[in-house]
Amino acid sequence: MSASNTDFMKLDELLTDEERLVRDSVREFVDKNVLPIIEEHYQAGQFPMQLVGIMGELGYFGANLEGYGCAGLNNIAYGLIMQELERGDSGLRSFVSVQGGLVMYPIYSFGSEEQKDQWVPRLQSGKAIGCFGLTEPDFGSNPAGMRTRARREGDCYLLNGSKAWITNGTLADVAVVWAKCDDEKVRGFLVEKGTPGFGSRDYHNKHSLRASVTSELFFDNCRIPASNLLPKTEGLKNALMCLNQARYGIAWGVMGSAMVCFETARRWSLERKQFADKPIASHQIVQQKLAHMLTELTKAQLLSYRLGQLKDAGKARPEQISMAKRNNVAMALETARIARDILGANGILSDYPVFRHMANLESVYTYEGTHDMHTLILGQSITGIPAFE
C-alpha cells in the first residue's frame, strides 16, 4: 500500500528519522509476517502465537517504557507501531496494547522492585504473556461497582469474584486483577497462571476480533501471597491510569485500519466499471465518499500527532485521550463501512481486508470505554457536570 495516498497533509515531514525508521520497520514486519497469514487465523478464530517471540525481539512490547530491556521510544514512535500493527489486524494491536499498556505499565508504575525485576523483562521479550482484568459481567462502563474482593488473611490475600471479556485471559502467565479490599479501595494484584482457585475460559464464536483471545476469569478462594499486591495502587484511579496508555495506543492504531480500508476502496473504485464502461470512481457520489474518508483520516492523524507531543511533554490529559479514542475509532469504523459499501458485494469477501477490519472495529468502539462513555467524559470536562448516573 502506498503510504502517500493516506498522508494528504504530509505528516511524514514532521516525523524524525527515528520515528520514520520505526514505522517503516513495523510496516515491513506486518507486510511480511502478518498480512499473508492473518485471514486464515481470523477465520480459524486463532491468535497467531508464532508472532509473539518475534514481536518481543523487535521491541514492540512496552516500547514507550524505559529500562528493563524496553525500547524507550517516544510516544509518536509508539503510536506509529500501533498504527502499523492494526493495519494488519486489530487483534494484533490489542495483544501489544494489553501487554505494554495494561500489564507492563502497571507493574512498571505501581509495582515493587521485585515485581518489576520478575515480570517486566519477561513481558518485554514475549517470554511471558499478561492480561488485565477490570471488567466484570455486571460492571463494564462502571468498574467502580466491581464485586471482586481481595480479603487480607495473614501473609495472603484471598480473591473471590470474576472478570469478563479479558483479552489474552487464557494465554496469560500473569493477570493484573483489580479487586476491592476491606477498606473498599480498589487495588491491583498479580495472579499467576496455575494458582489454585484461579480459572479461565475463552469466549467462542465471536464475530469480531476473531484473531484475538478473549476470556472470562474466575477467582474462587484464590490465595495469593500479600507480596503480589501492586503496592502503589490505592484506588480505581490507578486502573484508569492504565486505560490512558491503552486508549492512546488505540487512537493511533485504528488509523492503520482506516488506511487499509480507504486504500482498498480507492483502488477498487478506479478498477470497477459500471454504466457506460466508466470506473465507479468517476461518479460524484463515490468521489464524495472517498473525499470524506480521507478528510476524516487526515483530521485523526493531526489529532493523534498533537496528542503524542502532549504525552511526550507529560501534559496529555485523560479527556484529551478520550477525544482521540472517541473520534478516531468512530472515524475508522465509518471508513471501514463506507469502504465495504464501495466494494459492493465483494466487500463481504475475505479476499479483501475490509470486512475483517469493520467487524474488529465494532469491538474497538466498545472496549477501553465505549464511544458514549468518552462522550460523557468530554461532557464532564466541558461543563464540569458528570452525567454518568
Tell me which DSSP letter residue 314 carries.
T
Instruction: Look at residue 211 and give its three-state secondary structure.
Output: coil
- Determine whether 114 is an active site residue: no
Which amino acid appears at position 25 of this protein?
S
Instruction: Look at residue 202 and give its three-state secondary structure.
Output: strand
133 binds, among ligand FAD, ligand TGC, none (CB under 5 to 8 A by kind): ligand FAD
Residue closer to ligand FAD (CB basis): 266 or 325: 325
Residue closer to ligand FAD (CB basis): 6 or 214: 214
Q: For the beta carbon of residue 358, count every other beta carbon within 10 angstroms.
A: 23
DSSP-derived secondary structure for 336-371: HHHHHHHTGGGGGSTTSSHHHHHHHHHHHHHSSS-H
x-marked contacts with ligand FAD along 187-216 as a string, rule CB under 6 A: ----------------------x----x--
Name the residue among 330, 327, 333, 372 with its Cα closest to residue 354.
333
Which amino acid appears at position 197 of this protein?
G
Q: Is 379 in the site for ligand TGC (CB under 6 A)?
A: no
Q: Which of 298, 370, 380, 381 binds ligand FAD (CB under 6 A)?
A: 370
Bridge-based pairing of strands 198-202 and 186-192 is unpaired
Compute the least distance from the CB of residue 70 to ligand FAD, in Å. Answer: 21
Q: How far apart are CA 51 and CA 49, in angstroms?
A: 5
Q: For the beta carbon of residue 184, count every other beta carbon within 10 angstroms.
A: 7
Q: Is 133 in the site for ligand FAD (CB under 6 A)?
A: yes
Residues 241-251 as b or e (16 or more Cβ within 10 Å = b): ebbbbbbbbbb
CA torsion sign for 133, 138, 143, 144 is negative
Residue closer to ligand TGC (CB basis): 48 or 369: 369
Q: Which of 132, 218, 219, 262 binds ligand FAD (CB under 6 A)?
A: 132
Of residues 225-264, which lie at the interface with ligand TGC (CB under 6 A)?
235-237, 240-241, 243-244, 246
Of residues 135-154, which lie at the interface with ligand FAD (CB under 6 A)?
135, 140-141
Q: Which of 64, 83, 97, 269 binds ligand TGC (CB under 6 A)?
A: 97
Angle between helix 236-271 and helix 90-97 axes, rounded to 10 deg? 160
Residue closer to ligand TGC (CB basis): 47 or 352: 47
Compute the least distance from the CB of residue 364 to ligand TGC, in Å. Answer: 8
DSSP-derived secondary structure for 100-128: IIIIIHHHHHHS-HHHHHHHHHHHHHTSS
Of residues 105-164, which lie at the interface with ligand TGC (CB under 6 A)?
132, 134-135, 141-144
Q: Is 66 in the site for ligand FAD (CB under 6 A)?
A: no
366 binds, among ligand FAD, ligand TGC, none (CB under 5 to 8 A by kind): ligand FAD
CB hemisphere CA count around 172 (13 angstroms): 35
Q: Which of 66, 220, 350, 388 binds ligand FAD (CB under 6 A)?
A: 388
Residue closer to ligand FAD (CB basis): 74 or 200: 200
Compute the least distance from the CB of residue 155 to ligand FAD, in Å. Answer: 28
Residue closer to ligand FAD (CB basis): 167 or 264: 167
237 binds, among ligand FAD, ligand TGC, none (CB under 5 to 8 A by kind): ligand TGC
Cell of 188: 491491583
x-marked contacts with ligand TGC along 306-325 as a string, rule CB under 6 A: ------------x-------
Element housing 301 (H / E): helix 284-312
Name the residue among 140, 25, 131, 137 with its Cα closest to residue 71.
25
Catalytic residue among 86, 136, 216, 368: 368
Name the residue among 328, 331, 251, 340 with its Cα closest to residue 292.
331
Contact positions toward ligand TGC, by CB under 6 A? 94, 97-98, 132, 134-135, 141-144, 167, 235-237, 240-241, 243-244, 246, 318, 367-369, 373, 377, 388
Contact positions toward ligand FAD, by CB under 6 A? 98, 132-135, 140-141, 165-167, 209, 214, 363, 366-368, 370, 372-373, 388
Q: Report, as residue numbers or ranges, the catalytic residues.
A: 368
